[in-house]
Amino acid sequence: MNKKRVFISLGTLLALVLGADAQIAETYSLTDITGWSTNQLAALPWFAHWIPLPPPGAPSSFSAAARNGSGAVAGDATGHYPTPDRGAVVQSGATTYIPAWGGHSWSYWSCDATDCHFYWGRVEHSPATDVNALGLIAGHATIETPHNTNPLDYDEHAYLFDPATGLKTDLTPDGTGYARAFRLNDSGVVIGNYAGPSNFFAFRRETDGTMSYFTHPVATVQPMVLNNAGLVAGIHTTYTVSNRIVVPWIASNTTALTAIPLPTQGNPDTCTFTDLNHHGLLVGWANKMATWYETTAVRWHADPDGNWVAEDLNEILDAGNYILDRVLAVNDAGHLIVAAHEDVAGTPQRTLLLTPDVFPPPTVVTLPPTSLTPTSAVLRAQVNACNLATTAEFHWGLASPYVATNPAVGGVLTGTVPTIVTCLLTNLQPHLTYHFRVQAQNSQGAAFGEDFAFTTPYDYATWATEKFGAASTNESLAGPWANPDDDAWNNLSEFALGLEPQSTDPGVLQPRNELGRLTLTLTHPLDRAGVALTFAAATNVAGPWQSGPGATALVNLTRSGNLETLTVRTDFAGTQPRQFLRVNVEATQP
């Protein structure tokens, strides 16, 4: 059996994928899973973007797009008038719907020689396309647009949805009216496309909210897949008078597009990428544009010299009587799900599981710590054992190189489901920055997560010592109820809101009227232990004060470093001429 490979230089990726070819299977065992029972399908290896069974509790109209190792499944729930199509996430038997920002209503009359007909409808949807280890959801949703006669004249914006808070953040680049989010990795990076001034281009949104753009002087740029190493793959298409020129590309933590090859067998001129695992194995299919229905299953990967290789699976393995048409998914262990057909005219489509002859080292991603207190933290990471017995541990200290190692809770991992592992650190110091990373190891090698830095929160005593120095024990000056700057904020409130206790802080609260709703934006630090902010509204200053639907609504929430900015408005039914909105600052008394 001869291997047919195509090479193209890709030196910029050498540092990232050097030696990656050692993780690529030489052969696979093939299993036809067409018609398998529910129990058999449930026992298959785990894939993030191929989900053989609906999750428990999902609506009957639910179509799954992606899942995470904690059991969250994101997708789309088809609606029936008057309920619109909606994005949804299903977990633990419960469904959370993701509403659109609005929709597009249309109507028109059509008359012929005998009578007239009235047509009308509304386009409204918000499909979810991916979910990451932290439970965040990426997708796109329609926005409200003016009524007209064109049912296709609607706009969509990309979103990032947090089911824990219900907040849906608009990711659409400034100055454009259309964007879709396609993939989201476990670090929180999102890729998608948007309508530029002259063409469709791609965007990449980093975890901190910064945006970068994949553009081309003449081509439409389409991103398709993303992994935890920051690799993005897609195609760009140049339209000529009589043809389309499609170039597959890859980008490594940058927006520079580097061309990668198509397989030579059959001379295809376009391709579709469907998945990219965290070891850098890229899969999909290739075909000729003129015969789009005749596809061939393809995998791409970088060899030890950093050259990307395109391999037609029909050429590199013996599939018996099967023709391999499309690779639908790949997992971190290297399993493939392939759409195929038998080499007999008129036979139906088959679904195959390809199991690699060798499994790779584990994959890991360092996640933000949780349960932070001034003296403790729970470290977190996601580990995929890649079907081999795997151990994990955390390295941590005040800086790298790390000075301490703690084993992850849970012992030995195995299987193909990515698992969040944790470790409790105690006896830390308040308001001090620590660094950590995860290491996981199996019989094939070790994997290291990226360094992650966190700062333990202030307690009041540490804050008071920093602000008042030797006078921090003077209750009349530095005590929680003292107000040495006479600005209406006592020290406990100044501590909670990140204010300066010995100088006046004007303009902390700036309410405004937005379309008849009293609206308030407030920025506060996240590193204050025992602090909680709540909002309440009333139509009379004497009350009753209420929170939640019908009283208050969270409009926006953004985080930048250690600061969180909240925008909250009143949410009363109808028109209320008198509206009151207040923030309650709750802090544990020292």
Domains of the chain, first to last: 6-356 (2.120.10), 363-455 (2.60.40.10), 460-587 (2.60.40)
Per-residue tokens: 94: 């419960």
Q: Which H helix or E strand runs over 257?
A: none
With CA atoms as reference, report the closest residue to 417 among 51, 34, 31, 74: 51
Q: DSSP code of 22?
A: G
CA angle (554, 537, 560) in 5-degree steps: 30
Confidence grade of residue 3 (pLDDT, cut at 50, 70, 90): very low
Quick check: 22 pLDDT over 60? Answer: no
Terminal Cα distance for the chain, rounded: 74
Quick check: 6 pLDDT over 80? Answer: no
Quote the longest CA-to-CA distance of the chain.
94
Rg value, the chain, Cα: 27
Q: Regarding predicted confidence, which is higher, 11 or 2?
A: 2
Average pLDDT over residues 28-36: 97
Quick check: 2 pLDDT over 60? Answer: no
Cβ contact 354:333 at 8 Å: no
Share of the chain above pLDDT 90, in %: 75
The predicted structure's pLDDT at residue 236? 95
The predicted structure's pLDDT at residue 560? 76
pLDDT tens figures, 80-117: 888 999 999 999 999 999 999 999 999 999 998 899 99
| 552 backbone dihedrals φ, ψ, rounded to 5° | -135, 155
Quick check: 198 pLDDT over 80? Answer: no
Cβ count within 10 A of residue 461? 14
Altogether, the residues listed in the chain come to a count of 590
Determine the residue type at 128.
Answer: A
With CA atoms as reference, report the closest residue to 456 among 560, 372, 387: 372
Q: What is the pTM of this model?
A: 0.87
Cβ contact 240:265 at 8 Å: no
Q: DSSP code of 450?
A: P
Peptide bond connecting 261 to the previous residue in cis, omega within 30 degrees of 0: no
pLDDT tens figures, 532-558: 889 999 999 999 999 999 999 988 887
Average pLDDT over residues 563-571: 90
Please state, rounded to an integer, the average pLDDT across all residues of the chain: 91
Average pLDDT over residues 410-436: 95
Q: DSSP code of 173?
A: P
The predicted structure's pLDDT at residue 562? 81
The predicted structure's pLDDT at residue 589? 53
The predicted structure's pLDDT at residue 13? 26
The predicted structure's pLDDT at residue 555? 83
Average pLDDT over residues 153-157: 95
With CA atoms as reference, report the closest residue to 47 among 295, 278, 207: 278
The predicted structure's pLDDT at residue 187? 94
Determine the residue type at 432.
Answer: L
Quick check: 226 pLDDT over 60? Answer: yes
Confidence grade of residue 331 (pLDDT, cut at 50, 70, 90): very high
The predicted structure's pLDDT at residue 376? 96
The predicted structure's pLDDT at residue 263? 96
With CA atoms as reference, report the closest residue to 391 among 440, 445, 332: 440
Q: Looking at 25-29, 182-186, 330-334, 512-516, which range is the least confident one?
A: 512-516
pLDDT tens figures, 260-316: 999 999 999 999 999 999 999 999 999 999 999 999 999 999 999 999 999 999 999
pLDDT tens figures, 123-150: 999 999 999 999 999 999 999 999 999 9
Quick check: 21 pLDDT over 60? Answer: no
Average pLDDT over residues 508-524: 86
Cβ contact 132:116 at 8 Å: no
Quick check: 425 pLDDT over 90? Answer: yes
pLDDT tens figures, 229-239: 999 999 999 99
Quick check: 503 pLDDT over 70? Answer: yes
